[in-house]
């Protein structure tokens, strides 16, 4: 091509094809923005009211009664069609309102639809109403930084992922001063109500704000947000009022797509174990859902590990007339052994590859780590209380932190803290690899939570796995099984007697496979053959060659194929899923949460969380409710102190979904001579139907 043949760049840029190809907005985004979410049946009425539901009961925490007296006696309320025939209620419903909305914590797909629905419902009730979005989360509320939500702004973000419209943050409203600032902002803006879209900690904030602002006539409503899926609400007698928080489905679908692609990769080139860490600060709900959608070979569920009992150990102790308390709960060492066992069993069947899912928060359920986390949380919190400068500023480097801990263990510094950290703790802590020490000492978030996403969990586990696999390799226990058919073919080509060679080098030649039925059968090299030298010794003593002869290349080739090379690829699925576009389920769910929030506000409720009951069923069964946040509170250790917070829900090991995954474990591990059982989840789409249109966890739990 000569220079004169080249189209000038200006012409190229103006070309319609270029313009369409490089436009910021593509047709898919336009279609997505135009999608009109489903409205729960009750919202087809312009006027709705609330009906108390006394049949749903919760055990109330004493401390919640004490700290939240004005909202603790709220009832559970159902949004019902029509208004009481009373003109006061009608004029209250349709009055002009100012409503503030704040996102809090990590982004979760669908948040924009909460705002869109509040906007639509409020403007529909009274076009003069105003909606304000606080910028950068609770910080915006404290600093009175907001944007007025307009139709144009809402339309730009309908059905779109992220919290981009008004951003988010993790500031906690945890002091009298911050409460005062929040109240000041609400009063300056003349707010009638504030909607807090957040997780357990943010809804805790919402409850305290509701208590504080009630005397001033400002209502506060919470919305259950978090991809972690740990906001679930069940009554005292186990009835589900909220099966999952919003965003969980979209994030899980994104993770499952990626993990499923790795299953395809692993089973194509047969050389990697893909290690997939998936988000979920504590609870393993996302890992469980990803397992159901993909059938990855091995999925750890933190909650399951916490319940672990080493039956063998207990039995041995009982024989000695003792109780072995260390048999309860899982240690890191034991966990690595269990993972190795799965890897070794698959390799024995010719599958030295696979896909493993590790929940981000798994370490929380490992005894020894949990103890370190609690102790270090307390030490850091106590340090911050006593000193003007915070722990992480005072001790910049890992060495400085370790030195402080060493001094604590010797009682040289703060008395109270030193009783928590003794010489044994210090010794055990110093045995950990430095990247892990650093991980355990990372700065806690504003709520005092340990930040698991900052810790290289999979590295900690996989380093131990690799070490132990090397030991098993040296012992001759970790070997790649040799395909019987291939063995026979290789021997025939080399003019060697398969029967003679097979019985000499394999430990299961006769046991597992008959000569006339070698297909799908895997032979394992004998344990004592771990090198070319030991291979030669075996075939010399088997009379195949003499001491002076070399090992025939075909036998050498078989041996080399049996030597495992454990190669891993690590992946972290978290921020990508958190930023994904909401699924149709989440678009519909969040829009109805927003409508429910407005229904609660327009009927005078405060301290309530908007939820949708029956999410696990078809849309026409969805039921909008208001649930008192104060009744969902309990005491939890935070920053070294027992604190009143909304209770998180971790995976219930008695749930259907967990028990099904547990029952399928052996099949999905596929440590046999059959194929893998990977499952391809349907692509995320707005049209058509697929099994994953709702979280599979919910579908199974509803059986
Ligand atoms: P929320 O509970 O605020 O929704 O956040 C959940 C989460 O995505 C966790 O899965 C993860 O551990 C954490 O946020 C990561 O936090 P950060 O955004 O501060 O890195």
- Flag whether pLDDT at 515 surpasses 60: no
Among 232, 251, 285, 453, say which to mutate for ligand 1: greatest number of ligand atoms within 8 Å of CB: 453
* Ligand 1 atom nearest residue 286's Cα: 10
Protein residue closest via CA to atom 11 of ligand 1: 281
User: 197 - beta bridge partners?
Assistant: 103, 223
- How remote is the CA of residue 136 from the centroid of ligand 1, in Å? 15
- Report the C-alpha gap between 189 and 192 in whole angstroms: 9
How much distance in Å is there from the Cα of 274 to the middle of ligand 1? 23
Strand order in the sheet with 354-359: 298-299, 354-359, 273-278, 568-573
| Residues 6 or more apart in contact with residue 210 via CB below 8 angstroms | 68, 70, 71, 219, 220, 606, 607, 629
Token pair for 332: 């890191």
Q: What pLDDT score was predicted for residue 519?
A: 55
Residue 146: is its pLDDT beyond 90? yes
Distance from Cα 80 to the centre of ligand 1, integer Å = 35
Among the listed residues 228, 425, 483, 676, the single catalytic one is 228
d(CA 613, CA 56): 12
Which pLDDT value is given to residue 504? 96
10-246+583-638: CATH number: 3.40.50.450
Atom of ligand 1 nearest to the CA of 104: 3
Atom of ligand 1 nearest to the CA of 454: 20
Atom of ligand 1 nearest to the CA of 452: 12
Q: What is the pLDDT of residues 646-693, one digit of tens each?
A: 999 999 999 999 999 999 999 999 999 899 999 999 999 888 899 999
Residue 318 has pLDDT above 90, yes or no: no
How is residue 445 written in tokens?
């978030």
Nearest-CA residue for ligand 1 atom 10 is 280
* Residue 427 Cα to ligand 1 middle (Å): 32
**Ligand 1 atom at minimal distance to the Cα of residue 230:** 2
**Which 8-state DSSP code applies to residue 102?**
E
- The CATH topology of domain 257-472+568-577+654-701 is Rossmann fold (3.40.50)
Å from CA of 376 to ligand 1 middle: 20
3-state secondary structure of 63: helix
Q: Where are the domains of the chain?
A: 10-246+583-638, 257-472+568-577+654-701, 481-562
Closest by Cα among 693, 601, 623, 617 to 40? 623
What is the Cα–Cα distance from 293 to 291, expressed in whole angstroms? 5
pLDDT at residue 522 in the model: 92
Interval between CA 230 and ligand 1 midpoint (Å): 12
**The pairing of beta strand 233-234 with beta strand 240-242:** antiparallel
Helices (H), 35-148: 62-67, 87-93, 111-125, 138-143
Nearest one of 327, 218, 651, 281 to 453, comparing CA atoms: 281
Return the residue whose CA atom lies nearest to atom 20 of ligand 1.
Answer: 453
CA-nearest residue for atom 4, ligand 1, is 226
Nearest CA to ligand 1 atom 12: 281
Which atom of ligand 1 is nearest to 108's Cα? 4
Q: In CATH terms, are 10-246+583-638 and 257-472+568-577+654-701 the same topology?
A: yes
pLDDT classification of 516: cutoffs 50, 70, 90? low
What's the CA gap between 611 and 632, in Å, rounded?
Answer: 13
Ligand 1, atom nearest to 361 Cα: 12
Which of 105, 168, 172, 448 has the most ligand 1 atoms within 8 A of CB, as the residue to mutate? Answer: 105
CA of 615 from ligand 1 middle (Å) equals 23
> Whose Cα sits closest to atom 19 in ligand 1?
106
Q: Report the SS3 class of residue 567.
A: coil
Residue 245 in this model has a pLDDT that exceeds 90: yes
Assess whether pLDDT exceeds 80 at residue 452.
no
**Close Cβ partners of 424 (under 8 Å, ≥ 6 residues apart):** none
Best residue for ligand 1 mutational test, from 105, 106, 198, 586 (most atoms within 8 Å of Cβ): 106
**CA atoms 624, 627, 629, 634: torsion sign:** negative
- Cα distance between residue 369 and residue 345, in whole Å: 28
Is residue 167 within 8 Å of residue 133, measured between CB atoms?
Answer: no
Residues with CB under 6 A from ligand 1: 105-106, 108, 199, 226-228, 279-281, 360, 452-453, 578
Instruction: Tell me how far apart the alpha carbons of residues 575 and 697 are, in angstroms, rounded to a whole number.
Output: 21
The Å distance, Cα 374 to ligand 1 centre, comes to 19
Burial class (CB in 10 A: 0-12, 13-18, 19+), 143: middle
* Residues 103 and 578: beta-carbon distance below 8 Å: no
For the segment 11-23, what is each residue's pLDDT rounded down to a tens digit? 999 999 999 999 9
Q: How far is the CA of 170 from the centre of ligand 1 (A)?
A: 9
Q: What is the number of the ligand 1 atom nearest to the C-alpha of 578?
A: 8
Alpha helices in 214-310 (DSSP H): 248-269, 285-294, 302-306
Q: Whose CA is nearest to atom 14 of ligand 1?
A: 106
Nearest CA to ligand 1 atom 1: 106
Residue range 257-289, pLDDT digits in tens: 999 999 999 999 999 999 999 999 899 999 999
- Do the beta carbons of residue 134 and residue 196 sit within 8 Å? no
Task: Give yes or no: 228 in active site.
Answer: yes
Taking the centre of ligand 1 as the mean of its atom positions, its distance from the CA of residue 261, in whole angstroms, is: 24
**pLDDT at position 84, please?**
66
Out of 103, 136, 162, 228, give the residue to mutate to test ligand 1, the one with the largest number of ligand atoms within 8 Å of its CB: 228
Asked whether the predicted pLDDT for residue 170 surpasses 60, the reply is yes
CA distances from 274 to 10, 101, 259, 597 (A): 46, 41, 9, 42
DSSP 8-state class, residue 550: P
Report which protein residue has its CA nearest ligand 1's atom 17: 106
416 has pLDDT over 70:
no
The least confident of 131-135, 424-428, 631-635 is 424-428
Give the model confidence (pLDDT) of 349-393 as tens digits. 999 999 999 999 998 898 888 888 888 888 888 888 888 888 989
pLDDT at residue number 355: 98
Q: Whose CA is nearest to atom 6 of ligand 1?
A: 106
Looking only at the bridges linking them, the beta strands covering 354-359 and 298-299 are: parallel
Three-state SS across 74-94? Answer: CCCEEEEECCCCCHHHHHHHC
């Amino acid at each position: 091509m000569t220079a004169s043949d080249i189209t000038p760049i200006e012409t190229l840029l103006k070309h319609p094809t270029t313009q369409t190809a490089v436009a910021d907005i593509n047709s898919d985004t336009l279609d997505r923005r135009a999608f009109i979410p489903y409205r729960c049946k009750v919202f087809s009425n312009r006027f709705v009211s609330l009906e108390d539901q006394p049949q749903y009961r919760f055990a109330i925490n004493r401390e919640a009664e004490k700290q939240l007296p004005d909202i603790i006696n709220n009832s559970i309320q159902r949004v019902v069609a029509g208004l009481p025939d009373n003109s006061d209620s009608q004029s209250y419903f349709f009055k002009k309102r100012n409503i503030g909305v704040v996102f809090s914590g990590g982004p979760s797909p669908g948040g924009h639809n909460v705002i869109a629905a509040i906007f639509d419902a409020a403007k529909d009730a009274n076009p003069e109403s105003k909606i304000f979005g606080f910028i950068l989360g609770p910080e915006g509320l404290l600093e009175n930084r907001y944007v007025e939500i307009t139709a144009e702004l809402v339309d730009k973000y309908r059905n779109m992922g992220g919290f981009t419209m008004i951003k988010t943050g993790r500031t906690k409203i945890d002091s009298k001063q911050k409460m005062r600032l929040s109240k000041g902002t609400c009063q300056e803006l003349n707010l009638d109500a504030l909607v807090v879209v957040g997780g357990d900690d943010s809804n805790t904030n919402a409850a305290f704000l509701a208590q504080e602002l009630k005397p001033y006539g400002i209502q506060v409503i919470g919305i259950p947000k978090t991809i972690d899926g740990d906001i679930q609400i069940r009554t005292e007698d186990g009835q589900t009022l909220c099966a999952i928080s919003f965003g969980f489905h979209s994030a899980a679908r994104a993770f499952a797509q990626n993990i499923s692609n790795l299953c395809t990769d692993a089973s194509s080139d047969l050389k990697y174990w893909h290690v997939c860490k998936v988000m979920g600060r504590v609870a393993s709900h996302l890992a469980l859902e990803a397992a159901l959608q993909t059938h990855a070979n091995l999925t750890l569920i933190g909650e399951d590990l916490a319940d672990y009992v080493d039956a063998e150990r207990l039995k041995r102790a009982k024989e000695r007339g003792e109780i072995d308390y260390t048999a309860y709960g899982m240690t890191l060492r034991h966990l690595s052994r269990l993972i190795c066992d799965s890897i070794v069993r698959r390799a024995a069947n010719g599958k030295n590859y696979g896909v493993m899912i590790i929940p981000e928060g798994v370490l929380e359920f490992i005894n020894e780590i949990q103890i370190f986390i609690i102790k270090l949380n307390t030490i850091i919190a106590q340090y911050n209380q006593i000193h003007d400068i915070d722990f992480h500023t005072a001790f910049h480097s890992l060495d400085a932190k370790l030195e402080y801990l060493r001094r604590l263990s010797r009682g040289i510094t703060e008395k109270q803290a030193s009783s928590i950290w003794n010489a044994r703790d210090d010794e055990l802590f110093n045995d950990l690899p430095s990247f892990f020490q650093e991980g355990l000492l990372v700065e806690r978030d504003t709520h005092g939570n340990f930040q698991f996403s900052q810790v290289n969990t999979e590295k900690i586990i996989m380093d131990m796995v690799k070490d132990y696999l090397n030991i098993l390799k040296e012992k001759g226990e970790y070997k790649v099984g040799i395909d019987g058919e291939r063995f026979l073919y290789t021997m025939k080509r080399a003019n060697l007697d398969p029967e003679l060679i097979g019985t000499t080098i394999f430990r299961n030649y006769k046991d597992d496979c008959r000569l006339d039925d070698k297909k799908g059968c895997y032979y394992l090299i004998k344990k004592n053959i771990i090198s070319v030298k030991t291979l030669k010794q075996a075939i010399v003593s088997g009379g195949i060659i003499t001491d002076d002869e070399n090992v025939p290349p075909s036998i050498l080739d078989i041996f080399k194929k049996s030597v495992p090379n454990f190669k891993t690829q690590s992946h972290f699925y978290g921020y990508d899923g958190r930023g994904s576009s909401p699924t149709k389920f989440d678009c519909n769910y969040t829009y109805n949460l927003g409508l429910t929030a407005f229904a609660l506000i327009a009927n005078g409720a405060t301290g309530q969380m908007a939820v949708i009951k029956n999410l696990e069923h078809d849309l026409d069964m969805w039921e909008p409710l208001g649930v008192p946040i104060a009744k969902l509170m309990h005491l939890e250790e935070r920053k070294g102190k027992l604190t009143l917070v909304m209770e998180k829900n971790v995976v219930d090991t008695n749930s259907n979904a967990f028990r099904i995954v547990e029952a399928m474990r052996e099949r999905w591990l596929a440590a046999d001579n059959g194929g893998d059982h990977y499952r391809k989840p349907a692509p995320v789409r707005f049209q058509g139907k697929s099994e994953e249109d709702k979280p599979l966890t919910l579908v199974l739990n509803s059986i």
